[in-house]
Amino acid sequence: MPKFDVLTIGNAIVDILARCEDSFLSENSIIKGAMNLIDAERAELLYSKMGPAVEASGGSAGNTAAGIAGFGGKAAYFGKVAEDQLGHIFQHDIRAQGVYYQTTPEGTNPPTARSMIFVTPDGERSMNTYLGACVDLGPEHVEADVVAEAKVTYFEGYLWDPPRAKEAIREAARIAHANGREVSMTLSDPFCVGRYRAEFLDLMRSGTVDIVFANKQEALSLYETEDFELALENIARDCKLAAVTLSEEGAIIVRDDERVKVSAYPIRELVDTTGAGDLFAAGFLFGYTQGRSLELCGKLGCLAAAICIQQLGPRPMESLQEAAQKEGLI
């Protein structure tokens, strides 16, 4: 039996979250709802302007790994941190969630990545990310035995920003497929898709990636269309399986000619959308690696996302496993 259900690979980032008004975004030239890459100087400037903040281990794929562990799944993670305070915070947090994480921290320059996340009153998050030590993630950090023993290897599209990370992903995909495993990716955000559209499509069409996660805007961006039906037809043709999230409308899962629509779970209050897509992927992949139906996988994803957006920060404070048991999903 495989040792892990899911291995996730991503930028190891400590999130620094604070609330702000929309005017703050305008005054500081922050693109709302996007992940904006910034340098060290800009990171210091924005940090100095933040109000009261919450620090927590984050990063898209790290959030997904933590979510899978929260459901009771066996998760592993690859991601690069430095030998500094934020690096120690990240290591402690992800291991405390029950995730296998052994990537060795190296040096203090560049420092551990951090993302200043500004949450506006509508719950939308605008991320400003200094990649720091993430840029050093490369093929040498791929633990072949872990990849070989994971049912699914999942990575974030954001990894196409650091120059050597894509080499690591291609090596992990090679090992996974050589061992009869599957590879999955999330498109991350529409701006990321805009930067790497051709490469993402090649990953899908070449069979390097089997399972794709996207939200509606990312799917539209991928195919440069405003016709969502056309985007769904294309994504079903280009990969084995795709799950497309639709915010309050739930999600739609496509596999060849099969389509499964799943409704969103009702929420009390929208607090913060940070990590909603990451947690949807966690629920879906947990169900998928347990052999559940596509509908049940989608329901687990929607439940995790609903829990996530009712709190500040991307790591659920309540037990995902207990919530799923209460809903009769596991």
- pLDDT of 312: 78
Task: Give yes or no for a contact between 193 and 187, defined as CB atoms under 8 angstroms apart.
Answer: yes
Structural domain that includes position 96: 4-326
Domains held by the chain: number: 1
Low-confidence ranges of the chain (pLDDT < 70): none
- pLDDT of 35: 87
| Cα–chain center distance at 143 | 20
Q: pLDDT tens digits for 171-188?
A: 999 999 999 999 999 999
Instruction: Give the containing element (helix H, strand E) for 170.
Output: helix 165-178
Q: What is the pTM of this model?
A: 0.91
Percent pLDDT > 90 in the chain is 87
CATH classification at residue 162: 3.40.1190.20
Q: For 308, what's the count of Cα atoms within 13 Å in the CB-facing half-sphere?
A: 30
- pLDDT of 49: 95
